[in-house]
Amino acid sequence: MIRNVLGSILGLIGAAVAVWSPFRAWYDGRHGRDYRLVELFSPSGITGAKAALFTGLLLPFCVAALLALIAIVLRSRALMALAGVVVLGFAVLWMVRQGQALGSLSVGGARSVGAGVASAFGAGALLLLAAAVMRGRPRRRFHDRDLPPTSPAPTSPTRHDDEPWPPAPPDRP
């Protein structure tokens, strides 16, 4: 139970950080919510066009946070891990596409990767850690009380209730 509570707390923190990360600077002061989600999958790559709130990177992170909340309610390690993979996957995909658009990425300096990307990676790591810490649901084990009642022992068709069972062996002369 302690492991599930600890995993749930880590999952909640990871989900909150994942949703918060697009509101921070991702690259060169540009926030993650400003990157269009379709630009990550289009051949033209990342452009300078701005996105609406739920057409940017906020959408997959909100979906990941929802998956994490469902995982907490259901005590599902697999859903929690899926939420972490979604957050990390979109952060890595953004880095690849941003690096393709610019030719390279830099860490530190005026034009560099911002704290939003670090928050997204931290959130994904927290969600995966929460999945590792959680125990999940206990497995149901079958007990005798769960089985349907059994029928009485088979009887002989000619047997009467006053006869002993099993029948006595025949006498030999």
Q: Give residue 78's pLDDT.
A: 94
**How far is it, in rounded angstroms, from Cα 124 to Cα 109?**
25
pLDDT digits (tens, 9 = 90+) for 69-108: 999 999 999 999 999 999 999 999 998 888 888 777 767 6
Ranges of H-type helices in the chain: 2-20, 58-74, 77-102, 115-133
pTM: 0.75
Q: Do residues 42 and 99 lie in contact, with contact meaning Cβ atoms separated by under 8 Å?
A: no
Nearest Cα residue to 138 out of 83, 74, 61? 74
Cα 2 off chain centre by: 19
Q: Do residues 37 and 47 lie in contact, with contact meaning Cβ atoms separated by under 8 Å?
A: no
